[in-house]
Amino acid sequence: MKIGVVTFPGSNCDMDMVHALRDDLGFDVVQLWHKDRDLQGADAVVLPGGFSYGDYLRSGAIARFSPIMSEIVSFANRGGRVLGICNGFQILCEAGLLPGALLHNEHRKFICENVNLRPVSRAACLTRELDPAQHLTIPIAHGEGNFFISEDGLKRLEDTDGILFQYADAEGQVNRWANPNGSTNNIAGVANERMNVFGMMPHPERATSEHLGNTDGVGILRGLAMMVEA
- Give the three-state DSSP class for 28: strand
User: Domain residues for 130?
Assistant: 2-229
Question: How far is Cα 163 from Cα 188, in angstroms, rounded to an integer?
Answer: 8
Q: How many domains does the chain have?
A: 1
CA 211-214-216 angle, 5° bins: 140
pLDDT digits (tens, 9 = 90+) for 125-175: 999 999 999 999 999 999 999 999 999 999 999 999 999 999 999 988 999
pTM attached to this predicted model: 0.95
Report the pLDDT value the prediction gives residue 230, as an integer from 0 to 100. 45
Q: What contacts 125, CB < 8 A, 6 or more positions away?
A: 195, 223, 224, 226, 227, 230
pLDDT digits (tens, 9 = 90+) for 90-135: 999 999 999 999 999 999 999 999 999 999 999 999 999 999 999 9
The CATH number given to whatever domain includes residue 223 is 3.40.50.880
What residues are annotated to the active site? 86, 203, 205
- CA pseudo-torsion sign 64, 72, 202, 116: positive
